[in-house]
Amino acid sequence: MIAEVGRGETRVFVYFQGKLGGEIGLPKTSGSPAMSFDVTVVELLPGQEGLYPSMQSVSLGKYGVIELQTTDTHGTYKQTVDALTNALNLHPEDFHHQLSENPQWAGKRVEGPNVSNVFKRTFYQVAFKFQATKRESSVGCILVLPKPVWDSWRPFLGDPEIVEQADGTQRLWDGSGSDPSDWIYVFDVANLPGEAGSPAPLAVELVIGTDAATLSKAALDIAPQKAVAGQGSQDAVLTALHRRLKTNLPGLGF
């Protein structure tokens, strides 16, 4: 690989993630939290100084970051893991067949998606990483979301209009301009398995160019405005308080 970089005939990339080389991230400072990236990709280029004295001269090109967000669930995975482990121990030869006959093993005590928590837990990290990688040495950040997770995000972003671009990508409203550095890839899993029993294929449904400022405006400006506007002229919080007090403390005369 190092020889290929030295010849400059082929573009060479390396990547790091939790189980392959360890995550790359930003260290904690007195004014910012530590933040690790799911996957970091960097191009290797011919350079003046090698990574090691005995190797051909190599330098680092621009890097990019990939973040993958799945969904959270209520309940616990412990009983599911125990059920699958026991089934594997009892049926080592035909575990896959037994699992297909007993799909409840894979969801024992897993009670469904925790929709609100997905956005609340991840939005700050996403906006932080979009902004932190907006620099000359980086090509930006990609966030990869399953379609159900993206659907759960939409109300928190003010249910944004998706605007189609000439190149086939999309934007939130008209934000981020024509050359964004950050992208949200929304994918879905096909309903049917692939040929010859292969896993069901994945299809990318949306490629949304965006940035931290656009996402922040959607979540912290537009969505709250729509929440208030949806209640008309009345303050929804005062209305709820009035109704609750009338029910629980009727003696107050509401």
Q: Which of the pair, 71 or 100, is modelled with greater confidence?
A: 100
Instruction: State the pLDDT at residue 8.
Output: 64
Instruction: State the pLDDT at residue 192.
Output: 77
Q: Among candidates 123, 126, 143, 131, which has minimal Cα distance to 186?
A: 143
Q: Which of the pair, 152 or 51, is modelled with greater confidence?
A: 152
- Provide the sign of the torsion angle of the four alpha carbons 4, 5, 9, 10, taken in this order: positive
Residue 253: pLDDT over 70: no
Instruction: State the pLDDT at residue 3.
Output: 66
Q: DSSP of 33-49, one letter per residue? A: --EE-SEEEEEEEE-SS
Mean local confidence (pLDDT), 67-83 = 77
Instruction: Give the Cα separation of 246 and 113 in Å (integer).
Output: 34
Instruction: State the pLDDT at residue 170.
Output: 94
Instruction: State the pLDDT at residue 218.
Output: 94
Residue 53: pLDDT over 90: no
CA–centroid distance for 112 within its chain: 19
Instruction: State the pLDDT at residue 4.
Output: 66
Min mean pLDDT across 14-23, 52-61, 115-124, 239-248 is at 52-61
Task: Read off the pLDDT of residues 196-241 as tens digits, 9 standing for 90 and up.
Answer: 778 888 899 999 999 999 999 999 999 998 888 766 667 777 888 8
CA dihedral 189, 193, 196, 202 (to 10 degrees): -10
Instruction: Give the Cα separation of 123 and 126 in Å (integer).
Output: 5
Instruction: State the pLDDT at residue 97.
Output: 85
Q: What is the pLDDT of the chain when averaged over all its residues?
A: 84
Predicted model pTM? 0.76
pLDDT band at 179 (very low <50, low <70, confident <90, very high): confident
Instruction: State the pLDDT at residue 54.
Output: 45
Q: DSSP of 120-135, one letter per residue? A: HHHHHHHHHHHHHT-S
CB atoms within 10 A of CB 95: 14
Instruction: State the pLDDT at residue 119.
Output: 82
